[in-house]
A and B are shown apart, each in its own frame.
Chain A
């Protein structure tokens, strides 16, 4: 047991700092920082696979991107996903979290959620813990285009002919967006519920006393109060809209099909690298993707910035 009054010397202090940072930093630099920097370098080469010989080709890969129809199709799909997926997920989640936290009206003078809200939160959140790859296989079976697919069987009960959910090029991307929304909603229900729980109950009760109906309560009171959380959710889902790799790779027909109708940049990056071994071209696509994601993040933060309501 050391009881002496030992003021830690600067040397010990620096020794400690270095010993604690060395391994984490080394690992992070070798397996994260350096691959990312090398990717930027690769984007200007004609590197193929793991072959050590390659030449610098300047901006050739990027000029090729501009003429690549599949690249532009993928960018367009990100645009569609970016508009639809966050909006649908957030609206549905806001609606449900409102019902589950405030929709029950007043009980004993306090605002409360509808009956069974604890149960609903547990059920709605579950898709979030399933791996996207598993969700993809699950929905492959559900969305089978023939009359024996489960969704088509259910629709047949109300007289709808079998729908080619994933094989109809006009529909396939929307089907994939639907599955992404299916998985995302529960997460945001829980997130918004936490946001609503942190708002003092008196605010809602005062509004209800003043005669605010449920629509006013929802649009004029609840949404402004948790706007900060909604904004975070928007950024998070927006960034997710630039991913979608696992879902498209597993769920869509022909990996991004039919006829590239559902392809996304991450899928093309992966395909260029590991199906065609065009490491240089694939990395150039990676740079384009990073550029898109960072542009989106910067724009969103600028546009949605709004005074936070303190309470």
Chain B
């Protein structure tokens, strides 16, 4: 990555030309769908269906955005998702790092077994437990509540979070923690005031990983927040629903506006934090 800053002439010759062409084509393939969606939100239905769908909109009408905002409840879904993901990522990181820390740095009977119990969850697809999870959450009276979603998100995020953070805590030097204990700091205090700050790079990566993973989750919300709880829905199920719901059949511009509303905040966050996001997401596979 560092070499991208070494700017000089680009490599000459046919190879250079072809590689730029390939890169340019993939850039278009990546960007065009998103730009098209954005532009289409300003079009009228005649512009969308008159055989000129590649043309720019004649006027920038914002009224589709107004209709989308009112009928699709995107704002509500966004607020719901922010609340759910903020709380569940917080508890994922708190519980995940507590368990990972103890498993990584304390020897006791059962340590290995508990670690394997957490990590084996990595190889189980979430689809196995769908019916039984629904039953468990329903029996606890948590079906159709944000609390239920948060608890399930935290539990399902544990295997990866514990796996990654345990290896991170293991890599930290022993001397600092030992010195702190010598000075009379309790185990708990050593953890929160010494080890957590030392583990910051790992914690940041995994926080980003969990925020994006939970934000993009689709399966669990549609199982745990059924159709009669529409005011509690999360952004992914709201967006998936608008493409099938009746009001949009004749109103594609509003669909594109709603889609743009869901994409633009992500785009802004991504552009600002792209370096951290890239390393946070790839850290997961790199292990």
Given A96-B26, A125-B278, A138 contacting B37 (CB threshold 8 A): yes
A262 at the interface (CB under 8 A from B): no
Q: Is the CB of A187 within 8 A of B1?
A: no
Bound-state CA distance A5–B182 (Å) is 7
Q: Is the CB of A191 within 8 A of B22?
A: no
Residue with the greatest number of chain A CB neighbours at <10 A, chosen from B31, B101, B184? B184
Given A28-B118, A32-B158, A138 contacting B11 (CB threshold 8 A): no
A303 at the interface (CB under 8 A from B): no
Find residues 224-274 in chain B having any chain A CB closer than 8 Å to their own CB.
235-237, 239-240, 242-243, 252, 255-256, 259, 262-263, 266-267, 270-271, 274
Q: How many residues of B contact A (CB 8 A)?
A: 109
Bound-state CA distance A12–B240 (Å) is 51
B98 at the interface (CB under 8 A from A): yes
Q: Is the CB of A20 within 8 A of B98?
A: yes
Q: Is the CB of B127 within 8 A of A270?
A: yes
Shortest CB distance B208–A (Å): 10
Using C-beta atoms within 8 Å of the partner chain, give the interface range for chain A.
35 or more
* Chain B minimum-CB-distance residue to A143: B33
Bound-state CA distance A236–B217 (Å) is 18
Bound-state CA distance A154–B54 (Å) is 7
Collect the chain A residues with CB atoms within 8 Å of residue B103's CB. 21
Shortest CB distance A56–B (Å): 15
Q: Is the CB of A294 within 8 A of B123?
A: yes
Find residues 1-46 in chain B having any chain A CB closer than 8 Å to their own CB.
1-11, 15-16, 19-20, 22-23, 26-27, 29-34, 36-37, 40
Q: Is the CB of B129 within 8 A of A35?
A: yes
Collect the chain B residues with CB atoms within 8 Å of residue A232's CB. 285-286
Q: Is the CB of A243 within 8 A of B131?
A: no
Shortest CB distance B54–A (Å): 5
Collect the chain B residues with CB atoms within 8 Å of residue A117's CB. 3-4
Bound-state CA distance A29–B184 (Å) is 34
Residue with the greatest number of chain A CB neighbours at <10 A, chosen from B4, B22, B50, B239? B4
* Chain A minimum-CB-distance residue to B278: A190
Bound-state CA distance A279–B131 (Å) is 6
Bound-state CA distance A124–B8 (Å) is 22
A290 at the interface (CB under 8 A from B): yes
Bound-state CA distance A273–B126 (Å) is 14
Q: Is the CB of B282 within 8 A of A270?
A: no
Q: Is the CB of B33 within 8 A of A274?
A: no
Shortest CB distance A136–B (Å): 7
The majority secondary structure among interface residues of chain A is helix
Bound-state CA distance A273–B135 (Å) is 11
Collect the chain A residues with CB atoms within 8 Å of residue B16's CB. 103-104, 114
Q: Which of the segments A83-91, A145-153, A169-177 contacts the partner chain?
A: A145-153
Task: Find B95's partner among A24, A38, A214 (CB 8 Å cutoff).
Answer: A24
Q: Is the CB of A6 within 8 A of B184?
A: yes
Collect the chain B residues with CB atoms within 8 Å of residue A96's CB. 22-23, 26
B82 at the interface (CB under 8 A from A): no
Residue with the greatest number of chain B CB neighbours at <10 A, chosen from A124, A185, A242? A124
Task: Find A28's partner among B49, B155, B281 (CB 8 Å cutoff).
Answer: B155
Bound-state CA distance A125–B266 (Å) is 13
* Chain B minimum-CB-distance residue to A136: B240
Collect the chain A residues with CB atoms within 8 Å of residue B183's CB. 3
A73 at the interface (CB under 8 A from B): no
Task: Find A125's partner among B2, B162, B274, B285 (CB 8 Å cutoff).
Answer: B274
* Chain B minimum-CB-distance residue to A15: B187
Q: Could you pull out 25 A-B pairs where Cβ atoms are within 8 angstroms?
A: A16-B188, A17-B102, A21-B99, A28-B121, A31-B133, A33-B117, A34-B136, A95-B22, A107-B6, A108-B6, A117-B4, A122-B271, A124-B27, A131-B235, A133-B218, A134-B239, A134-B259, A149-B53, A239-B125, A245-B218, A266-B219, A270-B130, A274-B223, A286-B129, A289-B128
The 4 A-B pairs at the shortest CB distance, nearest first, are namely: A31-B155, A35-B129, A131-B216, A115-B10
Q: Kindly list 16 other residue pairs between chains A and B, CB separation below 8 angstroms, not including A121-B278, A286-B131.
A: A21-B103, A31-B151, A50-B135, A116-B23, A118-B5, A121-B4, A124-B26, A124-B30, A141-B36, A191-B286, A232-B286, A246-B218, A246-B236, A286-B127, A286-B128, A294-B123
Chain A residues with CB under 8 Å of chain B are 2-6, 8, 12-14, 16-17, 19-21, 23-25, 27-28, 30-36, 38-42, 47, 50, 92, 95-96, 99-101, 103-105, 107-108, 110-118, 120-134, 136-142, 147-150, 153-154, 157, 182, 185-187, 190-191, 193-194, 197, 214, 229, 232-233, 236, 239, 242-243, 245-246, 249-250, 265-266, 269-270, 273-274, 279, 282-283, 286-287, 289-290, 293-294, 297
